[in-house]
Amino acid sequence: MSEFDPNLVVRPPSFIGKSPAVDRVLELVDKVKDLDAPVLITGESGTGKELVARAVHSSGGRSRGQFVAVNCGAIPDHLLESELFGYVRGAFTGAMRDKAGLIEEATGGTFFLDEIGDLTFPLQAKLLRLLQEREIRRVGENRVRTVDVRFISATNKNLDREIADGRFREDLYYRLRIITIEIPPLRERKDDLLLLLDHFSERYAREMKKERPYFTPGALDLVLRYAWPGNVRELQNEIQRCLILCGPDRFIREDHLSSKLNPRRESPSGVEDNFFDAKAEFVRRFLNQALQRYNYNKARTAEEIGISRQGLFKLMKKHKIEAVPKTAGK
């Protein structure tokens, strides 16, 4: 049995999930947290690559230092070099004083380069030298400065294809990917969808100073069937939108969902008109899905959803859920 315990990894507040896919990510985080080797995090947009980078930083030996993050695609090319490496007075028009770069600011901590695939070739060469020598030169300066920084990078691009197309340096790629952590898309971790739904509904209702709403059974079905191409970020945006549209209502209905989730503009059904009926229907669906996921192993199901085994039995009895369906094992 593995000695890894995912509960011991320091998670950022929004790093939610108990699926095997999330446990694999956390196991890698646990293995690299105290190393200084570069880490490359890959995954689709919206999967939470920066959250994983922060988990590496906050759970490791560099947690007392700063975590400095830069999105390579968000800063114009002509400004990015001076932002990263800093500059000296007179290096260019407007450089009125010496200024340390963001890499220097991360000394003792972690420097996170998001969307590394957007970095231009000249800056790729400078980054390669930095990774090899652990030295930088500010723009306009001859002096070499040593930096003590843990480097983590991330991309939603296929860097093998970028190399083949001549847009990314192969030598830099191998320097960056000593350790690679791949973040699965939300469609491959549907086990976590209800947990994320519950977490963000509670969080955004609190931020909006509203009572916590609940998804009606019909709306929940549409949410669970959707593929979520925008991943967790899209889910967050959808929940915030629904909270605004539902007003003071305690229910998020089918017609509150965006057209992507509800393309046929399905109308609400009758059960959601009663709060307690809707809540009971939600609990039934949640428990049935959890039991199916763990092959009706009651002890494991109770542990994974965060209740006692006795509490699970009481809920199953209350909601008339079969203990062992004919098609399931014991």
12-21, 210-219, 269-278: the lowest-pLDDT one: 269-278
pLDDT exceeds cutoff 60 at 13: no
- Calpha distance 11→276 (Å, rounded): 34
pLDDT for 326 beyond 50: no
Strand, coil or helix: 112: strand
DSSP state of 311: H
Structure confidence by residue, pLDDT tens digits, 227-273: 999 999 999 999 999 999 987 878 898 989 999 999 888 766 555 55
For the segment 280-308, what is each residue's pLDDT rounded down to a tens digit?
A: 777 887 888 788 778 888 888 888 888 88
Q: Which of 294, 38, 154 is nearest to 312 (CA)?
A: 294
CATH topology identical between 6-184 and 187-318? no
pLDDT higher at 6 or 121? 121
Would you state the structure tokens that stand for residue 38, as one six-digit string? 């570069």
How far is 72 from 80, CA to CA, in rounded Å? Answer: 8
Q: Is the dihedral of CA 82, 85, 88, 91 positive or negative?
A: negative
How confident is the model over 144-169, as a mean pLDDT? Answer: 95
Least confident of 32-41, 106-115, 287-296: 287-296
**Residue 56 near residue 11, CB atoms below 8 Å:** no
Residue 89: per-residue pLDDT? 81
Let me know if domain 6-184 sits in CATH 3.40.50.300: yes
Least confident of 8-12, 85-89, 235-239: 8-12
Across the range 122-150, mean pLDDT stands at 90
Residue 109, amino acid: G
pLDDT at 4: 61
* Other CB atoms within 10 A of residue 174 CB: 11
Closest Cα partner for 112 from 64, 165, 176?
A: 176
What pLDDT score was predicted for residue 267?
Answer: 66
Most confident of 12-16, 229-233, 264-268, 313-317: 229-233
Q: Give the pLDDT confidence score for residue 247 in this predicted structure.
A: 79
Domains in the chain: boundaries: 6-184, 187-318
Q: What is the pLDDT at residue 67?
A: 96
Share of the chain above pLDDT 90, in %: 47
Separation of alpha carbons 175 and 171, rounded Å: 6
Fold designation for 187-318? Helicase, Ruva Protein; domain 3 (1.10.8)
- What is the structure's pLDDT at 327? 44
Residue 2 has pLDDT above 70, yes or no: no
How many percent of the chain have pLDDT more than 70?
A: 89
- What φ, ψ does residue 71 adopt, rounded to 5°? -95, 115
CA distances from 89 to 25, 78, 79, 92, 177 (A): 44, 17, 15, 8, 35
pTM of the model: 0.77
> By mean pLDDT, which of 62-66, 194-198, 255-259, 275-279 is the weakest?
275-279
Mean pLDDT of 174-192: 91
Cβ neighbours for 296, distance < 8 A, ≥ 6 positions apart: 323, 324, 325, 328, 329, 330
pLDDT band at 12 (very low <50, low <70, confident <90, very high): low
Query: Is 166 a residue whose pLDDT tops 90?
Result: yes
Q: Is the dihedral of CA 50, 52, 55, 56 positive or negative?
A: negative
User: Hey, what amino acid is at 106?
Assistant: A
pLDDT at 1 over 50: no
What is the per-residue pLDDT for 7? Answer: 62
When pLDDT is averaged across residues 92-98 and rounded to a whole number, the result is: 79
Average pLDDT in the 201-219 region? 89
Whether the per-residue pLDDT at 195 is higher than 80: the answer is: yes
Per-residue pLDDT at 328 exceeds 70: no
Residue 49 has pLDDT above 90, yes or no: yes
Tokens of 208: 């909006």
| The pLDDT value given to residue 105 | 93
